[in-house]
Amino acid sequence: MLLTDTDHQVEVATVDENGKPVSLEGLEARVYKVAWRWWWSQEQENFANYLSNSEYNLITKKTFNTLNGTGNFTFQIKYPDWGRYLIRITDPIGGHATGKTVYVDWPGWAGRARSENPGGASMLTFSLDKKKYEVGETVRVTVPTSEGGKLLYSLENGSEVIESKWYPTEKDQTIIELEARSNMAPNAYVHITYLQPHAQTANDLPIRLYGILPVLVEDPATRLEPQIAMADELRPEEEFEIKVSEKDGKDMTYTLAVVDEGLLDLTRFKTPNPHWTFYAREALGVKTWDLYQYVIGAYSGKLNALLALGGDEELKAQDEKAKRFKPVVRFLGPFEYTGGTNEHTLKLPNYVGSVRVMVVAGQDKAYGRAEKAVPVKKPLMVMTTLPRVLGPGEELQLPVNVFAMDEKVKRVKLKVSGNEQFEILNPNHQLQFDQIGDQLIYVQVKVKQSVGKGTLRVEAKSGSETSFEELEVQVRNANSPTFQMTSEIVSSGNGVQLDYEPLGIAGTRGAEIEFSSIPQSIWVIECITC
């Protein structure tokens, strides 16, 4: 926004078709006042339509030159004029032109330009002096009016009318001042009904105009500011402390969570913000009716109603991340805080990656949160990848990535072991590191002829530093189950001998025997997944 009674300099750049600066002479600059004209149009059906259009009035005209692609000129708008202005630059020789719209006013009237272009006949456009207020500040409402009328001011929220009052209108504008209070948080609505004298001739607006504006109010007393103090780096399987406090020492009840960031990234999880939830912007819950549109006035046409719909700001683009870590989740609480510092001792499992420490707090309608991302690593680390499932008799090359994150890690001994499901063909390895980095090796692993849960353990040692990783994988047969059935009849006083031969591989066999007094008497069922 530009100010009246002030010289304003307009910078102009001129370039050729290749974008290179050029010097031009005789450029013409014009400044227009953009005004709005509006009128009523009545059709044969006796319905009245509200129409509007804009007009441009020349205020200033100047000629100037540019040197090496740059130039400028100045203009000034005198007080008390205000509104929207169009700055248009024309090259009379080349025929090119450009323009820009600016708003000019004096201090304290930002946003009043809305009253220049009302969107409907019965719509009253007024303005606030600020976009957001804190409790205790003065809210200044400016309403364009004429003398002799009445304003019904009503302050409303999502469920009730907080206050209402009548004001006499003044010439040009009427100013209403009110104090931002805690019961207006997170927002309230200023609803103004403007009543003009019956049969007045000062303008041809309807007898009744109305408008609504939201007033955003921030109450500092509803915010808590939890603080997290802890180490900037953690090591797996070692205890660490988390210190929790409140910035101003306010009492609070809070929960503490330590969660693997790789897991949180799967759903783009954000640390819960209870203040945003409990103090989200409220919709207007008060409905208002009147009969003024049916009062016969200077214009007797039927006026079309003005409808408007609101929107939502919930959907926002989020950045996606791709990480693969073992999930780590620790949730503690709730805890009471009454000043000072609360200390919590935790221990992470054998895990390498990054965790997010989250504190969510609330107390007496005040809410807050805090978070801190902390890497979890060791000077020596191993990372292994396995398929999701394996089959009996399969062989695989197990990739093992060894990370040396400290210069003291030079010689690393690597050992791979497994449970009864696996046979490790080359379990022992040695690696040499000359600098910080990582090396990838492959270990030959064979799956035995059995099914069940397999476990692999990879362990690395270098001096006093050790690191290990344990992986579990399901060994299962991909074939459909196979059944074998045998039946025998047992006569009175005799017996039957059944020969049982195991079918399939270990871990998949099962048998059932059934006796019945009717044929068939004995069933032997062997089932296998092979």
The residue assigned the tokens 């109603």 is 305
Instruction: Provide the pLDDT for residue 116.
Output: 46
Amino acid in position 265? D
Instruction: Provide the pLDDT for residue 166.
Output: 93
Beta-carbon contacts of 308 under 8 Å, excluding residues fewer than 6 positions away, are: none
pTM for the predicted model, two decimal places: 0.53
Beta-carbon contacts of 258 under 8 Å, excluding residues fewer than 6 positions away, are: 242, 328, 329, 330, 346, 348, 355, 356, 357, 358
Instruction: Provide the pLDDT for residue 372.
Output: 92
Instruction: Provide the pLDDT for residue 154.
Output: 92
**Each residue's pLDDT tens digit in the chain (530 positions)?**
677 778 888 999 998 887 888 999 999 999 998 876 555 565 555 555 555 566 778 888 999 999 988 999 999 988 878 778 899 999 988 889 999 888 887 665 444 444 444 445 567 878 888 889 999 999 999 888 888 888 999 999 888 899 999 999 888 788 899 999 988 889 999 999 888 887 665 666 777 888 888 999 999 999 999 999 999 888 888 889 999 999 999 999 999 999 988 888 888 899 999 998 888 888 888 888 777 666 655 554 455 555 444 444 444 444 433 233 457 888 998 999 998 899 999 988 878 788 999 999 999 889 999 999 998 888 888 888 888 888 888 888 888 888 888 888 888 888 888 888 888 888 888 888 888 888 888 988 888 887 878 888 888 888 888 888 888 888 877 777 777 777 777 777 788 887 777 777 766 777 778 777 765 544 444 444 44
- Whole-angstrom distance, CA of residue 146 vs CA of residue 194: 10
- Whole-angstrom distance, CA of residue 209 vs CA of residue 367: 40
Instruction: Provide the pLDDT for residue 367.
Output: 93
- Whole-angstrom distance, CA of residue 192 vs CA of residue 151: 7
Instruction: Provide the pLDDT for residue 90.
Output: 93
| 3-state class (DSSP) for residue 68 | coil
- Whole-angstrom distance, CA of residue 154 vs CA of residue 178: 11
- Here the tokens at position 296 are 């016969």
- Among 93, 33, 87, CA closest to 65: 93
Question: How does 161-179 read in b/e, with b if 16+ C-beta sit within 10 Å?
Answer: ebeeeebebeeebbebebe
Beta bridge partners of residue 30, listed in sequence order:
61, 88
Instruction: Provide the pLDDT for residue 200.
Output: 62
Instruction: Provide the pLDDT for residue 322.
Output: 25
Cα dihedral across residues 516, 518, 524, 530: positive or negative? negative
